């Protein structure tokens, strides 16, 4: 089997250019994350379900200083099992793995 | 100019064809998929296959867009293997239609045993008829596991050349698995799930521009039928060469799809509506 082709060898933007181009857009997205968490707080007492547990743990991955955050966050949300389930009782996906398996 | 190699036009309006044509779309391929509800009989699929092979190409041609298709029963309706095999039995007679490129979009949805059985039945059909294959990988938390199961399943069919199989809907955690094993991969540009145009360009910058394409997978859900030209704009914004933009949005899909012997992205003069139909 062939190996994946290497990354493109020319960097189309400098670090400063990336910040110039994307900072405002991602400042807004960061505020959306904060507002989402505030909205949950305002909704009253309760406990996080498996989706929000995974979400809060994913935020920690953003700040661990390690590379490939996107890949690692996607893996964090993924079902870690490796064999087919006996039967599919729903068609949809929730966005995060349910470790108790209630959703299947 | 661009090709959208995965878009479900039966779910879109004619206005979308106008917008796509104006944005430079010259050819599309439309995999068979889930209609948002389960069909009640194999006859429902027979009618759907007629729509994909007869009426939708005529509709696209009115806007100068060449329409091609892929046939299968999608994994969301594969949990009943008896029903699914009745649908698969309908496919061979449609393989004679000139716009059929291969089998797709097959794959897994919830990664169940029955879905796997029907995936293997489709792979056998493709192997027997030497057809191209377009594979749907599962959504969200099911994607990584499903992608790995699918790659293992395809390897059990030695007559299927990975260079003739496209694994679609890859993201940052699955693209390398697909490319390292010699398959083609597709990135789907969705507003919320799958890839944004920005992340799709990130993946190209990380893994290279060989054996990779972008598609809108526009359908009846939250999706954008002109997502591919938006990704082209993103590449230009970053200063990528026009040759690279053309490669991933035209040259690569043309190269993969031309292996069918039936794909064309040649300019098509818009046709008049057929008022007899």
Give a yes or no: residue B122 inside a domain: yes
Give a yes or no: residue B266 inside a domain: no
Residue B221 has pLDDT above 50, yes or no: yes
- Determine whether the interchain pair A5/B210 forms a contact, defined as Cβ–Cβ distance below 8 Å: yes
- Determine whether the interchain pair B180/A1 forms a contact, defined as Cβ–Cβ distance below 8 Å: yes
- Determine whether the interchain pair A84/B113 forms a contact, defined as Cβ–Cβ distance below 8 Å: yes
Q: Domain residues for B150?
A: 2-260
pLDDT in tens, B165-208: 999 999 999 999 999 999 999 999 999 999 999 999 999 999 99
Structure confidence at residue B272 (pLDDT):
87
Residues of chain B contacting residue A96, judged by C-beta atoms under 8 Å apart:
140-141
Give a yes or no: residue B180 inside a domain: yes
- Determine whether the interchain pair B141/A13 forms a contact, defined as Cβ–Cβ distance below 8 Å: no
Task: Enumerate the β-bridge partners of residue B30.
Answer: B69
pLDDT band at A4 (very low <50, low <70, confident <90, very high): very low
Residues of chain B contacting residue A95, judged by C-beta atoms under 8 Å apart:
140-141, 193
Domains identified in chain B, total number: 1
Share of chain B above pLDDT 90, in %: 97
Give a yes or no: residue B160 inside a domain: yes
ipTM reported for the complex, 2 dp: 0.94
The Cα-based distances of A78 to A12, A71, A74, A91 in angstroms read 32, 11, 6, 16
DSSP B136-199: EPPPGGGHHHHHHHHHHHHHT-TTS-GGGEEE-S--TTTHHHHHHTT-EEEEEB-SSSSB-HHH
* Strand ranges (E), chain B: 2-4, 25-31, 66-71, 100-107, 132-136, 165-167, 184-188, 212-215
Q: Which residue of A has its CA nearest to B76?
A: A91
Give a yes or no: residue B277 inside a domain: no
- Determine whether the interchain pair B114/A87 forms a contact, defined as Cβ–Cβ distance below 8 Å: yes
Nearest CB among A4, A77, A80 relative to B140 is that of A77
Give a yes or no: residue B34 inside a domain: yes
Question: B88: distance to nearest CA of chain A, Å?
Answer: 20
CATH of the domain at B81: 3.20.20.140
Give a yes or no: residue B213 inside a domain: yes
Question: A15: distance to nearest CA of chain B, Å?
Answer: 12
pLDDT in tens, B18-61: 999 999 999 999 999 999 999 999 999 999 999 999 999 999 99
Average pLDDT over residues B116-136: 98
Give a yes or no: residue B272 inside a domain: no
Q: What is the pTM of this model?
A: 0.95
Token pair belonging to B71: 């046939």
Distance of alpha carbon A37 from alpha carbon B78, whole angstroms: 38
């Amino acid at each position: 089997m062939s190996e994946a082709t290497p990354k493109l060898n020319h960097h189309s933007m400098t670090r400063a250019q990336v910040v110039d181009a994307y900072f405002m857009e991602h400042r807004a997205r960061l505020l959306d994350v904060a507002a989402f968490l505030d909205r949950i707080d305002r909704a009253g007492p309760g406990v996080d379900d498996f989706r929000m547990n995974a979400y809060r743990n994913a935020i920690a991955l953003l700040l661990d200083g390690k590379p490939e955050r996107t890949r690692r966050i996607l893996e964090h949300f993924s079902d870690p099992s490796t064999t087919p389930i006996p039967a599919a009782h729903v068609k949809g996906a929730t966005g995060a793995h349910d470790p108790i398996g209630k959703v299947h | 100019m661009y090709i959208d190699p995965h878009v479900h036009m039966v779910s879109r309006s004619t206005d979308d064809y106008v917008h796509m044509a104006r944005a430079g779309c010259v050819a599309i391929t439309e995999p068979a998929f889930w209609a948002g509800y389960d069909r009640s009989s194999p006859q429902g699929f027979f009618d759907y296959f007629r729509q994909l092979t007869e009426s939708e190409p005529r509709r696209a041609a009115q806007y100068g867009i060449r329409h091609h298709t892929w046939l299968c029963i999608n994994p969301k309706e594969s949990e009943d293997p008896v029903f699914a095999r009745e649908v698969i039995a309908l496919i061979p007679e449609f393989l004679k239609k000139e716009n059929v490129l291969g089998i797709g979009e097959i794959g897994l949805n919830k990664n169940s045993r029955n879905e796997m059985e029907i995936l293997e039945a489709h792979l056998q059909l493709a192997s027997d008829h030497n057809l191209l294959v377009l594979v749907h990988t599962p959504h969200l938390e099911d994607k990584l596991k499903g992608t790995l199961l699918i790659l293992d399943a395809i390897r059990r069919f030695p007559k299927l050349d990975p260079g003739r199989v496209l694994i679609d809907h890859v993201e940052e955690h699955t693209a390398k698995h697909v490319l390292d094993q010699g398959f083609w991969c597709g990135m789907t540009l969705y507003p919320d799930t799958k890839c944004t145009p920005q992340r799709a360009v990130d993946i190209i910058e990380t893994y290279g521009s060989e054996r990779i394409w972008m598609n809108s997978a526009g359908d009846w859900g939250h999706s954008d039928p002109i997502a591919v030209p938006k990704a082209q704009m993103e590449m230009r914004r970053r200063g990528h060469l026009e040759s690279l933009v053309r490669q991933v949005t035209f040259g690569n899909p043309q190269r993969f799809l031309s292996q069918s012997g039936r794909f064309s992205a040649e300019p098509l003069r818009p046709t008049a509506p057929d008022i007899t139909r």
